[in-house]
Amino acid sequence: MVGKPFCLHQPAVGKAILSRFPEATVERNIDQWELPRATENTSTGREQPFDERRAITERVPRATTRDREAGVKRSVSP
């Protein structure tokens, strides 16, 4: 994964970054890039980034599993 581009909604670190942006910025990101699936566990629903954004800001730190790469766990805090 090092050096590979990724969409912000896929890995834990991207979700933490999105949680710090205003909602309008997240909306523009979704409109521009959509929400491509990296694995079967990647969230692709339009409301999902906002739900995860609230969860990140409410429950920090948060661990995610298999959103970007199968079998890889990450923990992140904004």
Q: Greater confidence, 13 or 72?
A: 13
Please state the domain extents for the chain: 12-76
H-helix or E-strand containing 75? strand 73-76
| CATH number assigned to the domain with residue range 12-76, chosen from the 4 options 3.30.450.40, 3.40.50.1970, 3.40.50.10090, 3.90.1110.10 | 3.30.450.40
pLDDT in tens, 15-72: 878 888 888 998 888 888 888 888 888 878 888 777 877 777 676 555 555 556 666 6
Give the pLDDT confidence score for residue 16 in this predicted structure: 79
Q: What sign has the CA pseudo-torsion 62, 67, 68, 69?
A: positive
| pLDDT of res. 75 | 58
**Residue-averaged pLDDT of the chain:** 75
